[in-house]
Amino acid sequence: MSMYTDFVRNLEESFPRGAARALAGQPISAGEIRTELLSGLTVALALVPEAVAFAFVAGVHPLVGLYAAFLVGLITAIFGGRPGMISGATGALAVVMVALVAQHGVEYLFATVVLMGLLQVAAGVLRFGKFIRMVPHAVMLGFVNGLAIVIFLAQLGQFQVPGTAEAAGHGIAGGEWLTGWPLATMLLLVALTMAIIWLLPRLTTVVPAPLAGIGIVALVVIGLDIDVPRVGDMASIEGGLPSFHLPLVPLSFETLWIILPYAVILAAIGLIESLLTLNLVNRMTGQRGGASKECIAQGAANIVTGFFGGMGGCAMIGQSMINVRSGGRRRLSGISAALFLLSFILIGSPLIEQIPLAALVGVMFMVVIGTFAWNTFRIMRVVPLHATFVMLLVTVVTVWEDLAIAVVVGVIASALWYAWESAKRIDAIAETGPDGEKVYRIQGPLFFGSASGFGELFDPERDPDTVILDFANSRVFDQSALSAIEGVSARYNQAGKSIRLRHLSRDCYRLLSRTGLLFDESDDDPDYQVAVDYSVKVGLFEGAH
């Protein structure tokens, strides 16, 4: 067996199947390697101010945010479910961490991040990631648009005097705004960066446009010694390698009671944001990613980060957009971004700290333009009113509250609307059978929303002595539906008339058998399941007849 075959086999045993294919199984050209590395460098440059800013938000040292960006980014790039997706320290998690750090200190944060990772791994093992399929398209549009607005608003803090925004919690309120020539210079450099990013792809694709924009504007600023805010004005990024560190917290139930609520919230926010980012990148690249694999990778990354002094993280949608639009499609771009970031911390800090913030703001503004779904305004004119409402609701909640909360609110709103519409679809077609019995052919789904309307379809006082309910064109979904069937049968029994059921699933027959109802079982009965087996145990139908 050849040395190369041995190498590939070892690689496949060490990494997930997708990672092995990306690193060894698929040929990659020199041009693709260059594109991946340059995309990674672009992302790494954009990661620095973001990680520092989110560390300020959480109330921890900037290196805690930078270590998280390196470790989470590296591990998810290797093992994650979506090659090309970028992960690191995020603002959505930082705003939750700040209360924990303020009350209990950074050591409790590290312990929380470890527990957060364990919960995310459990979610991946249990394949909870598949539930991201339940997010409607209207919610995705609202999420994307809200995200674009959030990214835009986050950049406005760079137009404040260095130091004042951090003192105000790194928000756009409370800091002193740039005025006069400093503001004009900042805006001019932002516009120059955006112009380079827009024009360069029309001339050449050798270098990613965002990287060229950052490089050219940085050279102009350094060469002309223009006095504008730079990365180093936020904080020094110089440091060493992250070292293994057990969180210095008591191993007790009291500690668990403190960190568990934060860990659950952080795990949920991280998974929702990561899985939505995965879906977004999937749509942009036309490829599919593994949701459960991403959950496990995010969890493993956070476990490691918690033991190496990082604040944890999840997928970063803005940086993922930069990577994809710069040509990053493979795991190499994410791996190189993490390694470039580490090199900045170890040896490149003096140079990186000279990069003007205006160049990075220009890159993020172009991300905003590319992320916002501009066809939303056209879609709103043709989709149903409730879809437009959901899109706007998710957008507003994303901007004012949180990405994860917005998605949950949007899914609930969509589900309630669907339930309301489905509840109105219940109906029955009445026919007379060959022996004079009355046959009700039930139409539409029977569930908690339609159970009340279902009972109004029948007239036990006027119906003949024998009544048949045929469910061939219906489906019984839940406990409320079974209770509604039992209620109708009780009304006919009280009127001294017999009722029989037809075309119910086997588990429906089993659950209703204790009521004494008659069934017309046949080979063409449906075989779907009603998940209310516990109702027999608790005696839901006790005393039904």
pLDDT digits (tens, 9 = 90+) for 98-150: 889 999 999 999 999 999 999 999 999 998 877 777 788 888 888 888 888 88
Based on the fold, state whether residues 369 and 387 are members of the same structural domain. Answer: no
pLDDT score for 21: 43
Nearest alpha-carbon partner for 139 in 409, 377, 334, 342:
409
pLDDT at 41: 93
**Do 355 and 465 fall within a single domain?**
no
* Residue 252 located in a structural domain: no
Res. 357: pLDDT tops 50: yes
Q: pLDDT tier at 15 (50, 70, 90 boundaries)? A: very low
- C-alpha distances in Å from residue 72, one per residue of 43, 45, 91, 137, 297: 14, 16, 15, 29, 9
3-state secondary structure of 200: helix
pLDDT digits (tens, 9 = 90+) for 485-542: 888 888 888 888 888 888 877 767 666 665 555 555 555 556 555 544 333 333 333 3
pLDDT band at 10 (very low <50, low <70, confident <90, very high): very low
State residue 335's pLDDT score: 96
If asked whether residues 221 and 85 sit together in one domain, one would say yes
Tell me, what amino acid is at 510?
R
Enclosing domain of residue 453: 424-538
- Angstrom CA distances, 188 to 87, 183, 211, 346, 488, stand at 31, 9, 18, 32, 74
Of the residues 412, 435, 461, which one is the last residue of a structural domain? 412
Asked if pLDDT for residue 434 goes beyond 70, the answer is yes
More confident residue, 17 or 261: 261
For residues 385 and 393, the answer to whether their CB atoms sit within 8 Å is no
Please give the pLDDT value at position 529.
Answer: 54
| Same domain? 366 vs 482 | no
Q: What per-residue confidence (pLDDT) applies to 536?
A: 34
Residues 108 and 222 in one domain: yes
pLDDT above 90 for 49: no
CATH of the domain at 524: 3.30.750.24
- Distance between CA atoms of 477 and 471, rounded to whole angstroms? 12
Domain assignment present for residue 491? The answer is yes
Classify residue 34: in a domain, yes or no: no
Question: Mean pLDDT of all residues in the chain?
Answer: 82
Strand segments (E) across 260-348:
314-315
Predicted pLDDT at 22: 42
- Encoded tokens for 189: 């450099």
Structural domain includes residue 460: yes
Q: Are residues 270 and 397 in the same domain?
A: no
The model carries a pTM of 0.72
Helix, strand, coil share of the chain (percent; to 5) = 65, 10, 30
Residues 186 and 55 in one domain: yes
Residues present in the chain in total: 545
**Is 23's pLDDT higher than 50?**
no
Q: Is residue 401 part of a domain?
A: yes
Say yes or no to pLDDT of 60 above 70: yes
283 lies in a domain?
A: yes
Higher per-residue pLDDT: 281 or 79: 79
Q: Which amino acid is at 458?
A: F
Number of domains in the chain: 3
Return the exposure string of 173-191: e unless at least 16 CB atoms fall within 10 Å of the residue's CB, then b.
eebeebeeeeeebbeebbe
pLDDT at 543 over 80: no
- Which of the two residues, 22 and 144, has the higher pLDDT score? 144
User: DSSP letters of 395-461?
Assistant: HHHHHHT-HHHHHHHHHHHHHHHHHHHHHTT-EEEEEE-TTS-EEEEEEEEESTTTHHHHHTT--TT
Find out whether 91 and 317 touch, Cβ atoms under 8 Å: no
**pLDDT tens figures, 306-340:** 999 999 999 988 889 889 988 888 999 999 999 99
Query: What distance in Å separates the CA atoms of residue 115 and residue 315, rounded to the nearest whole number?
Result: 18
235: helix, strand or coil: coil
Quote the CA–CA distance of 432 and 342 in Å, as a whole number: 79
Q: What is the pLDDT of residue 517?
A: 58
Do residues 85 and 138 both lie within one domain?
yes
Answer whether residue 36 is part of any domain: no
Question: How many other C-beta atoms can be found within 10 angstroms of the C-beta atom of residue 154?
Answer: 20
242 within a domain of the structure (yes/no):
no
DSSP 356: B
Whether residue 113 sits in one domain with residue 217 = yes
Per-residue confidence (pLDDT) for residue 493, from 0 to 100: 85
Q: What is the mean pLDDT of residues 389-404?
A: 87
pLDDT at 481: 83
Distance CA 219, CA 232 (A): 16
Mean pLDDT of 243-267: 93
390-405 CB burial, b ≥16 within 10 A, e <16: bbbbbbbbbbeebbbb
Distance between CA 161 and CA 446 in Å, rounded? 61
**Mean pLDDT computed over 240-253:** 93
Residue 45 CA to residue 141 CA, distance in Å, equals 28
Q: What is the mean pLDDT of residues 369-396?
A: 88
Terminal CA-to-CA distance of the chain, rounded, Å?
75
Share of the chain above pLDDT 70, in %: 85
Does 393 lie in the same domain as 272?
Answer: no
Q: Are 345 and 440 in the same domain?
A: no
- Asked if 450 and 420 count as a contact pair (C-beta separation under 8 A), the reply is no
Is the predicted pLDDT of residue 165 greater than 60, yes or no?
A: no
Pair 398, 505 in one domain? no
Identify the sign of the CA torsion 37, 39, 41, 47: negative
Confidence of residue 358 (pLDDT cuts 50, 70, 90): very high
Of 46-55, 117-126, 162-171, the range with the lowest mean pLDDT is 162-171
